[in-house]
């Protein structure tokens, strides 16, 4: 494993398997009465969140605490904080306080990468702009492997606003790396023009894709985009691409419905569809803790970088 987790491109297929296997052990810890192990005692993890987040921030916090690390939550509140100098100053302050790892979410793509140039600790990208969200992709891969027993050859559709979705990017890169077949589905305006270069298929007809799937992965419709005229109306989107009862019947037996949350019930997914047994959205959340524990453990469990001169790492 590298020193940081910024992008799915940082990981080899072997790294991904190691993370998922390690997460398996942490999943067991999550089933105990005492859901805590002393592995990262004395380490400090900072959650540096410049964007709102419920599940990712809490998931990282729970993960770090279950490893017995100390957790500092930094929320930038109403973001008058802009990138550049002020992010740097914040980073240097955290460094001076001895942060061993910084988990960062930021509206600007590339800010986690920027952070690595200023701090000696490990940096984990918890979502940067429209770039990547690798820990979400890893927990999704974990959930698929747990439920379906494999990743290679899985047929997965990622449906919705792929253009603005860091989740879609990280997940597609991860799935392609692990040998799955990915189809991006959505209105032409919301599919990135360079998508074919990712090694994925593109379709604008969800009904044609559903019968061939192992996993139907729905993205949140970012309704704020509608004002920018990426699609005519939320209702039309829902009619053309939303997963409703009728469409669920097109999915093969045993296939999964996934969503990274937060859901817009009634838009990209019908409310009763979200609660079907084949919808594994809650599993994704539970698995997220185990996967983030694995990442923190694998990054921080090696020889410490914080407080040392960077070069000595093997």
Contact residues: another protein, CB under 8 A: 1, 21-22, 24-25, 28-29, 32-34, 36-40, 43, 67, 297-304, 313-314
Which of 58, 69, 11, 72 has the alpha carbon at shortest distance from 36?
69
Between 15 and 201, name the residue whose CB sits nearer to another protein.
Answer: 15
Between 256 and 296, name the residue whose CB sits nearer to another protein.
Answer: 296
Between 26 and 198, name the residue whose CB sits nearer to another protein.
Answer: 26
Residue pair 292/63 in contact (Cβ under 8 Å)? The answer is yes
Give min distance, CB of 171 to another protein, in A.
25
Between 43 and 106, name the residue whose CB sits nearer to another protein.
Answer: 43
Helix (H) or strand (E) holding 38: none
Between 30 and 266, name the residue whose CB sits nearer to another protein.
Answer: 30
Give min distance, CB of 103 to another protein, in A.
17
Mark out the alpha helices in the chain (DSSP H runs): 13-29, 55-66, 85-96, 111-116, 134-148, 166-177, 206-209, 223-226, 234-241, 245-248, 271-274, 281-300
Give min distance, CB of 41 to another protein, in A.
8
Q: Could you tell me which residues come within 8 angstroms of residue 188 by beta carbon, excluding any fewer than 6 positions away?
A: 204
**Exposure string (b/e) for 280-296, b if CB count within 10 Å is 16 or more?**
bbebbbbbbbbbbbbbb
Other residues' Cβ atoms within 10 Å of the Cβ of residue 30: 15
Length of the chain, in residues: 314
In angstroms and rounded to an integer, the radius of gyration of the C-alpha atoms of the chain is 19
Give CA–CA dist 44/185, Å, rounded: 41
Give min distance, CB of 36 to another protein, in A.
8
Between 232 and 302, name the residue whose CB sits nearer to another protein.
Answer: 302
Give CA–CA dist 156/153, Å, rounded: 9
Give min distance, CB of 130 to another protein, in A.
31
Between 32 and 245, name the residue whose CB sits nearer to another protein.
Answer: 32
Q: Which residue has the tokens 């002393």?
A: 38
Give min distance, CB of 28 to another protein, in A.
5
Give min distance, CB of 132 to another protein, in A.
23
């Amino acid at each position: 494993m590298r020193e940081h987790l910024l992008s799915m491109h940082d990981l080899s297929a072997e790294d991904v398997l190691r993370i998922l296997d390690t997460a398996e052990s942490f999943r067991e810890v999550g089933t105990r009465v005492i859901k805590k192990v002393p592995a990262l005692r004395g380490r400090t993890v900072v959650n540096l969140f410049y964007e709102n987040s419920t599940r990712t921030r809490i998931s990282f916090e729970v993960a770090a605490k279950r490893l017995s690390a100390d957790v500092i939550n930094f929320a930038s509140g109403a973001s008058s904080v802009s990138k550049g100098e002020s992010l740097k100053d914040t980073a240097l302050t955290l460094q001076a306080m001895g942060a061993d790892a910084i988990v960062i979410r930021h509206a600007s793509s590339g800010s986690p990468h920027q952070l690595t140039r200023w701090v000696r600790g490990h940096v984990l990208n918890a979502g940067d702009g429209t770039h990547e969200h690798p820990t979400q992709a890893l927990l999704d891969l974990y959930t698929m492997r747990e439920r379906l027993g494999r990743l290679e050859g899985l047929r997965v559709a990622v449906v919705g606003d792929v253009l603005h979705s860091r989740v879609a990017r990280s997940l597609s890169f991860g799935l392609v790396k692990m040998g799955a077949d990915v189809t991006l589905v959505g209105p032409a305006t919301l599919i990135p023009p360079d998508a074919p270069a990712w090694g994925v298929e593109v379709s604008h007809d969800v009904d044609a894709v559903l019968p061939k799937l192992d996993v139907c992965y729905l993205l949140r419709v970012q309704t704020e985009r509608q004002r920018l005229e990426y699609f005519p109306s939320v209702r039309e989107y829902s009619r053309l691409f939303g997963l409703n009862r009728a469409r669920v019947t097109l999915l093969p037996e045993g296939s999964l419905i996934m969503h990274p949350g937060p859901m817009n019930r009634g838009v990209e997914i019908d409310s009763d569809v979200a609660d079907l047994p084949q919808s594994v959205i809650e599993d994704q959340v539970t698995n997220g803790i185990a996967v983030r524990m694995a990442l923190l453990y694998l990054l921080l469990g090696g020889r410490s970088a914080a407080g040392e001169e960077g070069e000595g790492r093997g």
